[in-house]
């Protein structure tokens, strides 16, 4: 049984098998509810979200947010530290400057020198050391997929796939074949995945010394000289953020991938496909 | 987690049976491995998810990467356990089945899936090295590696240790 709904700026599909129909229906409804919560709390676009409240106020005074927002923020900061800032959740200002994200109303102008190190958490409150715009674009989708599966609380014998526009997780022993949305010479890239998550990203661009930005939506287009990365990891949030350091570092991302029990497949026009990690 | 990558020739995608460029081979199904390791027995699945604490405990006790957040174990009608575990080879995921006696001694392992070019680990003489292993005395470093499949053999040997630790921590007293 499969259901799809527009959420998180993409189409989210949830498929369940191995459960009676009514149980599958209820599990899918719980999954969508969990994703909607993530969307409500962590949208950059929604002025009422926790994220928008932080961007408006946390540089002036500590702002209390939902524990789920805190969880993602903690993971985002840990990811920034592990990747030495190649993944950085404070790129919102730079993305808005490029027109990728809308400028939030009433938020103080971000300090161009702001990084993840300017974000501190104390209890349930978050404080910015200088004005900055948080954006969970590189991690919230993955988290939402994980949150959906957790809320679905499936028995071990059921099989499920939660797919948020290509960031997906498979629960269950039976492998799922996932086609990477990339039209390149050499054949159609497929990943067979069981009980794990997969995320992909492309369009690594640098400007100044800042972090590469996932400008998104490049699936299906020729990659030209750019790189395309797909990362498989035990959970989708990890797979999601790891795509950025993999795009930036190439084979130098292997220690990072190992640390997070992940494997990556990296495509570049010059080098073709390379597998990173996984040995 | 189990993840494999393929490049499928474009022409093949339209076909019913795509010819995969490089595929892991399935040598035995779970049921076949169960019959080999425990002839005549029946098997009752006892699958469960690991809590964060259990996941970390197995990893830290075994000092070996814990990959998946669940245990796929079957109780054997004649006593003991059958488990399916995954380890990473050089460029493949290796899926293997392992039998344990009721008191936690390895009865044997069977390779279910791996890339054919690393299938040296299917060699019975190599696999016999882990038969009879117990947690207290088993040392994965003492298992001889197979040249040409070095990482596969080392990681399967490590996986056996992780399974023995899992038995000790979780299965031994499981109701």
Kindly report, residue by residue over B150-169, the tens digit of the pLDDT: 889 999 999 999 999 999 99
Rounded average pLDDT over A132-158:
92
Residue A133 lies in a domain: no
Kindly report, residue by residue over B25-79, the tens digit of the pLDDT: 888 889 999 999 999 999 999 988 888 899 889 989 998 877 677 888 999 999 9
Interface pTM, i.e. ipTM: 0.71
pLDDT at B15 over 60: no
Nearest Cβ partner for B4 among A157, A191, A197: A191
We report the CATH number of the domain holding residue A71 as 1.10.3980.10
Residue A250 lies in a domain: yes
Domain ranges of chain B: 23-171
On whether the CB atoms of residues B31 and B97 are closer than 8 A, the answer is no
Kindly report, residue by residue over A24-41, the tens digit of the pLDDT: 999 999 999 999 999 999
Task: State which residue of chain B sits closest to A198, comparing Cα positions.
Answer: B3
What is the Cα–Cα distance from A271 to A275, expressed in whole angstroms? 11
In chain B, positions 107-146, which contact chain A (CB-CB < 8 Å)?
none
Nearest Cβ partner for B8 among A188, A263, A278: A188
Which pLDDT band, with edges at 50, 70 and 90, does A217 fall under? very low
Q: Which is higher by pLDDT, A151 or A99?
A: A151
Cβ contact (<8 Å) for B91 and A193? no
Cβ contact (<8 Å) for A157 and B47? yes
How high is the pLDDT of residue A183? 65
Instruction: Look up tokens 């790129």; give the residue.
Output: A91
Residue A142 lies in a domain: no
What is the Cα–Cα distance from A89 to A81, expressed in whole angstroms? 11
What is the Cα–Cα distance from A105 to A165, expressed in whole angstroms? 28
Q: How many residues make up chain A in this entry?
A: 279
Cβ contact (<8 Å) for B88 and A279? yes
Q: Which domain holds residue A57?
A: 50-128
How high is the pLDDT of residue B2? 81
DSSP-derived secondary structure letter, A168: E
Say how many domains are in chain A: 2
pLDDT at B19 over 60: no
Residue A239 lies in a domain: yes
Q: Give the Å distances, CA to CA, from B6 to A165, B21, B22, B91, B147.
A: 21, 6, 6, 11, 25
On whether the CB atoms of residues A253 and A204 are closer than 8 A, the answer is no
pLDDT at B23 over 70: no
| Bridge partners (DSSP) listed for residue B93 | B88
Cβ contact (<8 Å) for B65 and A275? no
Residue A166 lies in a domain: no
Nearest Cβ partner for A189 among B2, B7, B67: B7
């Amino acid at each position: 049984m499969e259901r799809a709904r527009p959420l998180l700026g993409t189409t989210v599909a949830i498929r369940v098998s191995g459960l009676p129909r009514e149980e599958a229906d209820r599990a899918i409804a719980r999954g969508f509810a969990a994703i909607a919560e993530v969307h409500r709390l962590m949208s950059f676009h929604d002025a009422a979200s926790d994220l928008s409240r932080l961007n408006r106020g946390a540089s002036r005074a500590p702002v209390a947010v939902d524990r789920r927002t805190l969880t993602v923020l903690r993971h985002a900061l840990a990811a920034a530290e592990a990747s030495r800032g190649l993944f950085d959740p404070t790129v919102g200002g730079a993305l808005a400057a490029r027109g990728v994200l809308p400028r939030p109303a009433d938020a103080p102008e971000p300090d161009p020198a702001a990084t993840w190190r300017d974000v501190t958490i104390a209890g349930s409150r978050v404080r910015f050391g200088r004005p900055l715009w948080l954006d969970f674009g590189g991690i919230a989708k993955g988290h939402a997929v994980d949150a959906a599966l957790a809320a679905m609380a499936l028995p071990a014998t059921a099989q499920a796939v939660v797919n948020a526009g290509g960031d997906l997780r498979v629960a269950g022993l039976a492998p799922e074949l996932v086609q990477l949305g990339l039209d390149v010479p050499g054949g159609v890239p497929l990943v067979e995945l069981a009980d794990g998550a997969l995320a992909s990203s492309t369009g690594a661009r640098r400007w100044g010394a800042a972090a590469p930005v996932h400008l998104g939506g490049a699936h299906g287009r020729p990659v030209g000289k750019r790189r395309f990365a797909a990362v498989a990891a035990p959970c989708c949030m990890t797979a999601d953020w790891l795509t950025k350091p993999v795009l930036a570092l190439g084979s130098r991302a292997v220690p990072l991938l190992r640390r997070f029990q992940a494997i990556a497949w990296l495509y570049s026009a010059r080098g073709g496909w390379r597998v990173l990690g996984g040995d | 987690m189990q993840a494999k990558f393929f490049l499928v020739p474009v022409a093949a995608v339209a076909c019913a049976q795509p010819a995969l460029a490089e595929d892991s081979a399935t040598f035995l199904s779970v049921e076949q491995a169960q019959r080999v390791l425990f002839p005549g027995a029946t098997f009752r699945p006892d699958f469960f998810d690991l809590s964060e604490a259990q996941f970390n405990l197995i990893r830290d006790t075994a000092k070996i990467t814990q990959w998946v957040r669940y245990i796929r174990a079957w109780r054997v009608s004649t006593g003991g356990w059958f488990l399916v575990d995954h380890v990473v080879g050089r460029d493949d995921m290796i899926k293997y089945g392992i039998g344990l006696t009721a008191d936690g001694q390895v009865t044997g392992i069977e390779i279910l899936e791996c890339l054919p070019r690393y299938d040296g680990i299917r060699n019975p003489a190599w696999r016999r090295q882990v038969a009879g292993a117990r947690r207290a005395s088993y040392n994965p470093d003492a298992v001889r590696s197979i040249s040409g499949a070095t990482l596969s053999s080392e990681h399967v040997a490590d996986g056996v240790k992780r399974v023995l630790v899992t038995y000790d921590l979780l299965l031994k007293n499981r109701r």
